Amino acid sequence: AQSVTQLDSQVPVFEEAPVELRCNYSSSVSVYLFWYVQYPNQGLQLLLKYLSGSTLVESINGFEAEFNKSQTSFHLRKPSVHISDTAEYFCAVSGQGGSEKLVFGKGTKLTVNP
Amino acid sequence: KAGVTQTPRYLIKTRGQQVTLSCSPISGHRSVSWYQQTPGQGLQFLFEYFSETQRNKGNFPGRFSGRQFSNSRSEMNVSTLELGDSALYLCASSFGGGVPEAFFGQGTRLTVV
Protein backbone atom coordinates (compact mmCIF):
# COMPACT_ATOMS: atom_id res chain seq x y z
CA ALA A 1 0.00 0.00 0.00
CA GLN A 2 1.07 3.57 -0.62
CA SER A 3 0.52 6.80 1.27
CA VAL A 4 1.38 10.45 0.67
CA THR A 5 2.00 13.24 3.14
CA GLN A 6 1.94 16.85 2.07
CA LEU A 7 3.47 18.67 4.95
CA ASP A 8 1.88 22.07 4.43
CA SER A 9 -1.84 22.57 3.95
CA GLN A 10 -1.42 26.25 3.04
CA VAL A 11 1.53 28.18 1.66
CA PRO A 12 1.24 31.96 1.20
CA VAL A 13 3.99 33.69 -0.78
CA PHE A 14 4.59 36.98 -2.51
CA GLU A 15 4.74 37.27 -6.28
CA GLU A 16 8.22 36.57 -7.74
CA ALA A 17 9.34 34.78 -4.57
CA PRO A 18 10.54 31.16 -4.71
CA VAL A 19 8.33 28.41 -3.34
CA GLU A 20 8.71 24.78 -2.31
CA LEU A 21 5.74 22.47 -1.71
CA ARG A 22 6.76 19.39 0.21
CA CYS A 23 5.67 15.84 -0.47
CA ASN A 24 6.75 12.60 1.20
CA TYR A 25 5.51 9.17 0.28
CA SER A 26 5.51 5.69 1.69
CA SER A 27 5.49 2.52 -0.38
CA SER A 28 6.68 -1.05 -0.19
CA VAL A 29 7.17 -1.21 -3.95
CA SER A 30 8.72 1.00 -6.61
CA VAL A 31 6.54 3.96 -7.47
CA TYR A 32 5.57 6.51 -10.03
CA LEU A 33 5.14 10.04 -8.68
CA PHE A 34 2.99 12.93 -9.86
CA TRP A 35 2.06 16.50 -9.11
CA TYR A 36 -1.39 17.73 -10.10
CA VAL A 37 -2.80 21.26 -9.92
CA GLN A 38 -6.43 22.14 -9.35
CA TYR A 39 -7.96 25.55 -9.99
CA PRO A 40 -11.31 26.44 -8.37
CA ASN A 41 -14.26 24.44 -9.72
CA GLN A 42 -11.99 22.52 -12.07
CA GLY A 43 -10.66 19.00 -12.36
CA LEU A 44 -7.03 18.07 -11.83
CA GLN A 45 -4.34 18.94 -14.35
CA LEU A 46 -1.14 16.94 -14.55
CA LEU A 47 1.76 19.25 -13.76
CA LEU A 48 4.68 16.83 -13.92
CA LYS A 49 5.56 13.22 -13.42
CA TYR A 50 8.43 10.97 -12.40
CA LEU A 51 8.33 7.59 -14.09
CA SER A 52 12.00 6.62 -14.37
CA GLY A 53 15.36 8.02 -15.40
CA SER A 54 16.44 11.49 -14.37
CA THR A 55 15.33 12.31 -10.84
CA LEU A 56 14.75 15.97 -11.72
CA VAL A 57 11.61 16.57 -13.75
CA GLU A 58 10.35 19.86 -15.11
CA SER A 59 7.07 21.28 -16.31
CA ILE A 60 6.52 23.74 -19.14
CA ASN A 61 5.52 26.54 -16.78
CA GLY A 62 8.64 26.64 -14.65
CA PHE A 63 7.89 24.11 -11.91
CA GLU A 64 10.31 21.32 -11.15
CA ALA A 65 10.36 18.38 -8.75
CA GLU A 66 13.12 16.09 -7.62
CA PHE A 67 12.63 12.43 -6.78
CA ASN A 68 14.71 11.51 -3.74
CA LYS A 69 14.45 7.78 -3.11
CA SER A 70 16.46 7.74 0.11
CA GLN A 71 14.30 10.44 1.67
CA THR A 72 11.12 9.18 -0.06
CA SER A 73 10.36 12.72 -1.16
CA PHE A 74 9.14 14.47 -4.30
CA HIS A 75 9.13 18.18 -3.45
CA LEU A 76 7.79 20.71 -5.94
CA ARG A 77 9.68 23.95 -6.50
CA LYS A 78 9.44 27.10 -8.54
CA PRO A 79 12.09 29.84 -8.42
CA SER A 80 9.67 32.71 -9.06
CA VAL A 81 5.90 32.43 -8.72
CA HIS A 82 3.14 34.41 -10.43
CA ILE A 83 -0.31 35.39 -9.28
CA SER A 84 -1.68 32.84 -11.76
CA ASP A 85 0.03 30.01 -9.84
CA THR A 86 -2.52 30.42 -7.08
CA ALA A 87 -4.21 27.01 -6.89
CA GLU A 88 -4.25 23.78 -4.93
CA TYR A 89 -1.47 21.31 -5.60
CA PHE A 90 -1.72 17.58 -5.06
CA CYS A 91 1.10 15.07 -4.87
CA ALA A 92 0.19 11.53 -5.91
CA VAL A 93 1.84 8.12 -5.96
CA SER A 94 1.11 4.90 -7.81
CA GLY A 95 2.73 1.54 -7.30
CA GLN A 96 4.41 0.08 -10.35
CA GLY A 97 2.77 -2.87 -12.02
CA GLY A 98 -0.90 -3.54 -12.72
CA SER A 99 -3.49 -1.14 -11.35
CA GLU A 100 -3.27 2.55 -12.16
CA LYS A 101 -4.77 3.65 -8.87
CA LEU A 102 -3.43 6.96 -7.62
CA VAL A 103 -3.06 7.75 -3.94
CA PHE A 104 -3.19 11.46 -3.27
CA GLY A 105 -1.94 13.69 -0.50
CA LYS A 106 -4.34 16.11 1.20
CA GLY A 107 -3.20 18.97 -0.99
CA THR A 108 -1.37 22.27 -0.50
CA LYS A 109 -3.17 25.51 -1.18
CA LEU A 110 -0.68 27.94 -2.70
CA THR A 111 -1.69 31.58 -2.52
CA VAL A 112 0.45 34.10 -4.38
CA ASN A 113 0.00 37.65 -3.14
CA PRO A 114 0.93 40.82 -5.05
CA LYS B 1 -7.98 15.59 -29.25
CA ALA B 2 -10.96 15.82 -26.92
CA GLY B 3 -10.34 15.59 -23.19
CA VAL B 4 -12.19 13.61 -20.58
CA THR B 5 -15.87 14.51 -20.54
CA GLN B 6 -18.02 14.11 -17.47
CA THR B 7 -21.76 14.62 -17.40
CA PRO B 8 -23.60 16.20 -15.80
CA ARG B 9 -21.44 18.94 -14.29
CA TYR B 10 -23.83 19.63 -11.43
CA LEU B 11 -26.49 17.53 -9.78
CA ILE B 12 -28.81 17.99 -6.82
CA LYS B 13 -30.47 14.90 -5.39
CA THR B 14 -32.53 14.05 -2.33
CA ARG B 15 -31.50 11.59 0.35
CA GLY B 16 -32.51 8.08 -0.54
CA GLN B 17 -32.45 8.62 -4.28
CA GLN B 18 -29.93 7.10 -6.64
CA VAL B 19 -27.71 8.81 -9.18
CA THR B 20 -25.70 7.83 -12.27
CA LEU B 21 -22.67 9.78 -13.41
CA SER B 22 -21.07 9.40 -16.83
CA CYS B 23 -17.50 9.64 -18.06
CA SER B 24 -16.17 9.56 -21.62
CA PRO B 25 -12.41 9.01 -21.64
CA ILE B 26 -9.86 10.31 -24.09
CA SER B 27 -9.95 8.40 -27.37
CA GLY B 28 -7.64 5.41 -27.18
CA HIS B 29 -7.60 5.26 -23.38
CA ARG B 30 -8.82 1.98 -21.95
CA SER B 31 -8.55 2.64 -18.22
CA VAL B 32 -11.06 4.77 -16.34
CA SER B 33 -10.79 5.53 -12.65
CA TRP B 34 -13.19 7.35 -10.36
CA TYR B 35 -12.33 9.51 -7.35
CA GLN B 36 -14.39 11.26 -4.72
CA GLN B 37 -13.17 14.65 -3.51
CA THR B 38 -14.46 16.21 -0.29
CA PRO B 39 -13.02 18.97 1.91
CA GLY B 40 -12.67 16.61 4.84
CA GLN B 41 -11.34 13.43 3.22
CA GLY B 42 -9.58 14.86 0.19
CA LEU B 43 -9.25 12.74 -2.92
CA GLN B 44 -10.24 9.13 -2.43
CA PHE B 45 -10.08 6.34 -4.98
CA LEU B 46 -13.39 4.66 -5.75
CA PHE B 47 -12.60 2.13 -8.47
CA GLU B 48 -10.75 1.52 -11.72
CA TYR B 49 -12.03 -0.17 -14.85
CA PHE B 50 -9.93 -1.57 -17.65
CA SER B 51 -11.38 -3.32 -20.69
CA GLU B 52 -14.82 -3.52 -19.06
CA THR B 53 -13.45 -5.21 -15.94
CA GLN B 54 -13.06 -3.72 -12.50
CA ARG B 55 -9.34 -3.89 -11.84
CA ASN B 56 -9.22 -2.24 -8.44
CA LYS B 57 -11.65 -1.00 -5.83
CA GLY B 58 -11.37 1.49 -3.01
CA ASN B 59 -12.83 1.33 0.44
CA PHE B 60 -16.37 2.48 -0.22
CA PRO B 61 -19.66 0.79 0.64
CA GLY B 62 -21.50 -1.34 -1.88
CA ARG B 63 -23.86 1.55 -2.63
CA PHE B 64 -21.12 2.79 -4.93
CA SER B 65 -20.81 0.82 -8.14
CA GLY B 66 -19.56 1.31 -11.63
CA ARG B 67 -19.22 -0.22 -15.01
CA GLN B 68 -17.37 0.26 -18.25
CA PHE B 69 -18.67 -0.26 -21.75
CA SER B 70 -16.92 -1.68 -24.78
CA ASN B 71 -16.15 1.85 -26.05
CA SER B 72 -14.38 2.54 -22.70
CA ARG B 73 -17.05 4.97 -21.53
CA SER B 74 -17.81 4.49 -17.87
CA GLU B 75 -20.65 5.14 -15.48
CA MET B 76 -20.75 5.16 -11.73
CA ASN B 77 -23.88 4.72 -9.70
CA VAL B 78 -24.63 5.64 -6.12
CA SER B 79 -27.77 4.19 -4.61
CA THR B 80 -29.64 5.27 -1.47
CA LEU B 81 -27.88 8.62 -1.35
CA GLU B 82 -26.74 10.02 1.98
CA LEU B 83 -25.87 13.61 2.87
CA GLY B 84 -22.23 12.56 3.18
CA ASP B 85 -22.15 11.57 -0.48
CA SER B 86 -22.10 15.24 -1.42
CA ALA B 87 -18.78 15.67 -3.19
CA LEU B 88 -16.97 16.37 -6.43
CA TYR B 89 -16.70 13.11 -8.37
CA LEU B 90 -13.76 13.02 -10.71
CA CYS B 91 -13.13 10.64 -13.56
CA ALA B 92 -9.62 9.98 -14.85
CA SER B 93 -8.60 8.20 -18.02
CA SER B 94 -5.29 6.65 -19.00
CA PHE B 95 -3.96 4.22 -21.57
CA GLY B 96 -4.09 1.31 -19.16
CA GLY B 97 -0.65 -0.08 -19.84
CA GLY B 98 0.42 0.12 -16.22
CA VAL B 99 1.75 3.70 -16.21
CA PRO B 100 -0.96 5.83 -14.62
CA GLU B 101 -0.49 9.06 -16.53
CA ALA B 102 -4.06 10.05 -15.80
CA PHE B 103 -6.05 12.88 -17.31
CA PHE B 104 -8.99 14.15 -15.34
CA GLY B 105 -12.38 15.46 -16.32
CA GLN B 106 -13.93 18.61 -14.86
CA GLY B 107 -15.89 16.54 -12.40
CA THR B 108 -19.52 16.22 -11.39
CA ARG B 109 -20.54 18.22 -8.35
CA LEU B 110 -23.16 16.17 -6.49
CA THR B 111 -25.17 17.80 -3.74
CA VAL B 112 -27.45 15.62 -1.63
CA VAL B 113 -30.15 17.47 0.28
Write b or e for each residue in B34-58: b if 16 or more Cβ atoms lie within 10 A of its Cβ, otherwise e.
Answer: bbbbeeeebbbbbbbbbeeeebbeb
Structural domain boundaries enclosing A103:
3-113
Strands B42-50 and B103-104: unpaired
Give the whole-angstrom CA distance, residue A17 versus residue A111: 12
pLDDT tier for residue A28 given thresholds of 50, 70 and 90: confident
User: Are the CB atoms for B30 and B51 separated by under 8 Å?
Assistant: yes
Q: Which of A98, A100, A105 sits opposite B102 (nearest CB)?
A: A100
Q: Residue B100: how many CA atoms within 13 Å on its side-chain side? A: 26
Q: pLDDT tens digit string along B43-67?
A: 999 999 999 999 999 999 999 999 9
User: Are the CB atoms for B108 and B6 separated by under 8 Å?
Assistant: yes
Number of domains in chain A: 1
Give yes or no for residue A98 having a pLDDT over 70.
no
Q: Which amino acid is at A88?
A: E
CATH number where A51 lies: 2.60.40.10
Check residue B79 and report its DSSP letter: -
- Which residues of A are less than 8 Å from B29 in CB distance? none
Q: Please, which residues bridge with residue B68 across strands?
A: B74
Query: Percentage of chain A surpassing pLDDT 90?
Result: 74
Q: How many residues in total does chain B contain?
A: 113
Cβ <8 Å between B100 and A94: yes
User: Are the CB atoms for B1 and B99 separated by under 8 Å?
Assistant: no
Alpha carbon of A104: minimum distance to chain B alpha carbons (Å): 6
User: Are the CB atoms for A67 and A57 separated by under 8 Å?
Assistant: yes
Q: What is the mean pLDDT of chain B?
A: 94
Cβ <8 Å between B102 and A104: no
Which residues of A have a CB under 8 Å from any CB of B?
A: 32, 34, 36, 41-46, 49, 51, 90, 94, 96-107
Q: pLDDT tens digit string along B72-97?
A: 999 999 999 999 999 999 999 998 87
Q: pLDDT tens digit string along A45-76?
A: 999 999 888 888 888 889 999 999 999 999 99
Q: Which of B99, B103, B109 sits opposite A51 (nearest CB)?
A: B99
Alpha carbon of A81: minimum distance to chain B alpha carbons (Å): 24
Alpha carbon of B15: minimum distance to chain A alpha carbons (Å): 24
